[in-house]
Every structure is written in structure tokens, then in C-alpha cells.
Structure 1
Amino acid sequence: EVEAWKHHVVGPGVMDWYIWDAAPAMFPSSPKFMFPMLGKMGLATQGTPMTPADRSAYEGADDLEYEFKAQEISYSKADIGVPVGYWRAVGHSHNGFVTETFVDACAEKVGKDELAFRLDLLKNQPRLASVLKLAAEKGGWVAERPQGRYVGIAAHKSFGSYVAELVELSVESGQIRVHKVVCAVDCGQVVNPDIVKMQMESCIVFGITAALHGEIEFVDGGAAQSNFHDYQMLRMNECPEIDVHIVDSAESPTGVGEPGLPPIAAAMGSAIYKATGTRHTRLPFKIS
């Protein structure tokens, strides 16, 4: 049993750089001096009372559905001078990976199946528990797999929606191949199911791309990668089969454009651990 959960997030605030770099293009009629001045103020004050808290670094870490006996979530604003911007799912992207990866490690520590471990912590959170059960059922969590195939599962709440994803993959000669992803989503009332499915599919492809290829290297103060020839996207022949299941709900509609992304890397990491015996805590995944 987990006695306490302590999570300290360290990173820059997106808003400072957004004000500096992106806002002038979005609001061209505003005084040009204003944006760099505000950006410099945000970078200089480093989250002091002079500037409001920017949740972009720690969102997804500070509102976990899991019911631990005690939780402490803290954030230290730290900027290394590299401009950052809004990435799909923003803070939920990295915090979904971090929290779900560590939940997997906790399950192993106490000797429990990672699905059962999660469900024990979600007894009073029926919506997240429901998507976990649905993804596990539709993905055949306890089913026999072909030799060399491994599964992992993860779940996360973001933008008001609950998403769980089961991943089936293999690792051969140091190469990770995702064969299938089963996604369960509860986003409240749904007007157009096809739009929900398309958003989940695109989030999954986006997230797999980041987990396998999404690395920027800095050389002599500049990014080494310049375009898609050296910053690879997931190719069509690499894309897995994706099966999306939508929970029938009477709750108010919530977001679908980003919630499909946070669980995917953690679910992949869980399966990779079973395949290789190494638990990865950094992205992109690199198999030695």
C-alpha cells in the first residue's frame, strides 16, 4: 500500500515565452514594446507574487484521481533560456507520462497487477475506473498474446475528459513496434462520435511519434534538427491499429482535442518494461 505521494515539478512557464514570441503575431495592433517587456518580467520574476502561477508546467500532476493517503504536489519555476511553447495536451503530456509510469512502478513494488492496483485507488472515482475497465476488456488485458507481444495500460484525466489506453507492442533488435492501441474515452455527451474517434486517433499517433522520435538536440546554442528529414514523424507503415470506444454518458460535454495523448507514452513504457526488463523514465524511448 502506498502511504504518500510526493511530486515536485521543475520547469519553465510557457506563458512567458508565449507572450514574448507568439502574442505579437496574434495581436499585431497592440504596442510592440509591450510583449517583450511582459515576457522579460515573467522570466525575471520566476513565479513570484508579481506574476500569476502558470499551470502549464504542473497541470495533470496537481489533480490526480488516485486516492493516496497523503499527497504533496509542488512546483519550482526554472528557466534555462530555451524558448518553449504550447504542445498538444500541454502539462498533461509530460505529467501524464510521469505519474502513470510511477504508478506502474508502485504496483510492481507491492506485487500487484497494474490494472488492479489502479482500480483499488479509484474506488471513489468511477469515471476513470470505467474507462480503465473498458480499455482492458476490449483490449484483452488477460488474453494470451503471440510470442514477443507485450501489453501496457495507462489512464489520465485532462480537459474534463477521462481516457485509458491499452498498448500492444513488440521490441526486436532494439526497435519498438506498436501493433495495436485500444482507447476508451468518457467525454460526456457526444454530438459527433466520428470527431471524437478522429481526435483520439490523432492524439495517439502524435503521442507515439513523441515517444519514439520526439527529441530536439542543442548544439552550440541552437537546435540541431531543422525539418522533417531529421525530426521524424510516425510513418504510415509504423502506425498501429487503433480501436476507440466511447462511453455512453449523460454528463456535460468535455474536451476531446488533447485528452487522448497523455496516457499513450506511459502505456508504451509499461509494455516495454515487460519486453526488456528496463523501466524508462525519459522520452523518447531508447532501447540499448
Structure 2
Amino acid sequence: MEHIPEKSSVIGIGIRSDPERVFFGISSYSGRSTIRCYLHTDLHTSVPPRFHSIISEHPELDLISDLFSGTLDAAIRGTLSSHHTLQLLKETAGVSTLERVVLLETADGSHFFLGPVGIDEGWTISDKVSLIEKVKPLCQKFGLSEKVTILSGGRLDDVGRHPAVDRSLADAELVARLSGGVHRGILIEEAVKDSGFIVAPDGVSGNLIFRTLLFLGRGRSYGAPVLNIPKIFVDTSRVNPNYLHALNLADNLIELSFLKKSSI
């Protein structure tokens, strides 16, 4: 029988702006972890008593340092700067790029992982194949379909309409063959019906899909875990309306990490 560790895990969340919005969103958190908030010194706000606080001139640095020292079991970017935080994360982890996927929910309740979602991520065939292999255990963990859909820049019969579309179709076809996924062209509306992971043509289109669903389509984001570092880091948009979902995602990732270690 699998057991959750008795010792409370610790999740850190960064706050450089809109502290009241962050606190309101996570106020209903009922998970097992202790929450530590990393706030910039310019923020003059009261931290709710149930949360621990770290006041710092460099909350990005302190959050990531505590994550890699083992003080934190997981970290959430929250409203910290994307560029500065992710650059520090890459430097500390010793990687040249990050591999992120975001867990999304549509307005009608369909759940799936989407990637790549960073504008500098997922530009090569090998990038996409690597991402697919890393996401498979997450699909299993969260009870999602193990079917992977690879998207491209047109329908399958659009070959010849434009060189960029032809290249996108060919690349997606190769990714599908190498990974065991299914190439569905541009038909994302079909992919959400049965796929646990949807692979965008590149990081720019992935980011646009994410933002369109979240901010225009009344969808929901649970955050984007980074898959190619040895620590649990959940990336979030600074304008995310609610960080409770990211906390719950981090909790589940901590449990998954523990169960993986206990099975070795």
C-alpha cells in the first residue's frame, strides 16, 4: 500500500505584484502542504496568518535558492517576473532551455496537457519528441488519456498551399511517427475530445492557444510544470486569476515524486 509522507511538504509561491489577488485565490487551499510566500519588500501588505512569509529584495532568487537547497518541496512562480525568474531557474538547474507543459481545462470541463508553451521552446522535432516522453507519466498520474495529438499549420490535405504549411505538416507527421502520437493537422477541436497531451506546432502557437483558452475562452489553467529539471517548479502567468489550482497541481506533483522515489 502506498503512503503519503507524514512530514508536511512545503510549497513556495512568489509575489511581486497583486498580493491581495494571490492571497484571495489561495485562501481556500486545503491541501497537506505548508505555504511559504516570497514577497518583494516594496509590497506593503499583511500576509494571512495561515501562510508563512519571506520578505526580500530578491524574491525570485530566494524562491529558487530555497527550492534547490531542499527548503521547499515545490515552487510556484506566482506574480514574479517571467524573464528574470526563468533565467535564474535555468542557470541554477544548469539547463540551456526549459521544457514546460500546461494543464488546461476547457469551459466544458475537458482536461489536457498542452505544450510547448514557452515562445523559445519546442522548435525542433527532437524537442517535441522529448516533451512527449516526459509528459506520459503525468497523463497517467492525472488520469488523462495517453493519446497524444500533434498539431500542425493546416489540414492534412492542405499540402501545396504554402511552403511554411508544408513544412509544418511534414514535421508533425515525423513527430507522430517517432513518438507514437497522432497527427491531426490544425484540428485542435477534435484533439481535445480524446487526447491527454496536445502538441502545438511551436512555442508561440502554444502560448497563443493557452492565452486564448484562459483569457477569452473561459477556460482554466492549473499551471505549467517544468519537466527537465530535478526540482518541482510550476510556472504560472502573472495575470492568472486564481493560483489555487497551481497549489493543488504542485501538491500532486510532490506526491508523484515521492511515489517514484519509494518504488526505486
Higher RCO (C-alpha 8 Å, min separation 6): 2
TM-score (norm 1): 0.29
TM-score (norm 2): 0.31
Q: Which has the larger radius of gyration?
A: 1
